[in-house]
Structure 1
Amino acid sequence: MDDPIESLSFEDALKELERIVSRLESGDASLDESIHLYERGDKLRQRCAERLDAAQARIEAIRLDAEGKPVGTRPFAAG
């Protein structure tokens, strides 16, 4: 824990975030520790969201012609 957040993979950041949530939910952490955990958890959440946004931007949708055959790709449009 407390590795630089920028160096964590999405999976590692998510695992650490899950551990932080469990620790906070347990109620065993002191106030100071809870504040530190919350701040780190928020940064991990932001990191995960950034990684997901980047992945989504890389997804491409396949374009089909009138006969349903693939003819190319276009950027993924969410929503």
Structure 2
Amino acid sequence: MDYPVESLTFEAALKELEAIVARLESGDTPLQDAIELYERGNALRARCAERLDAAQARIEAIRLDADGRAATAPFTAG
């Protein structure tokens, strides 16, 4: 059963997205199913991006400056 994308955690959305990619890459999926999987995958990709953006915002919100005061700073991955 497919859960509503909006209710999925980042981890659950990513896991489902990976499974969809594997199915599409297999080349064994009928065209109509592939279209539906692609649509679901696109929604899952958007959900993952949304959750990452939210996590980035939280990280920026809780950074501390040199004096121990809360201050925001740009997030840099790496």
On whether the aligned pair clears a TM of 0.5, the verdict is yes
What's 2:68 paired with?
A: 71
Instruction: Measure, in 1, the Cα distance between the counterparts of 2:31 and 2:23.
Output: 12
- Give deviations 1:41-78, integer Å, cap 9, x for gaps: 000000000000011001132211xxxxx421212413
Which one has a bigger Cα radius of gyration?
1
- Number of residue pairs matched? 74
- Structure 2, unmatched stretches of 5+, are none
Q: Report sequence identity in percent.
A: 59
What is the aligned-residue RMSD (CA, Å)? 1.3
Would you tell me which structure has more strand in proportion to its own residues? Answer: 1
Q: Which amino acid aligns with 2:72?
A: P
- Structure 1, unmatched stretches of 5+, are 65-69
Q: Which amino acid aligns with 2:70?
A: T
Would you tell me which structure has more helix in proportion to its own residues? Answer: 2
Contact persistence 1:62–1:74 (CA under 8 A): yes
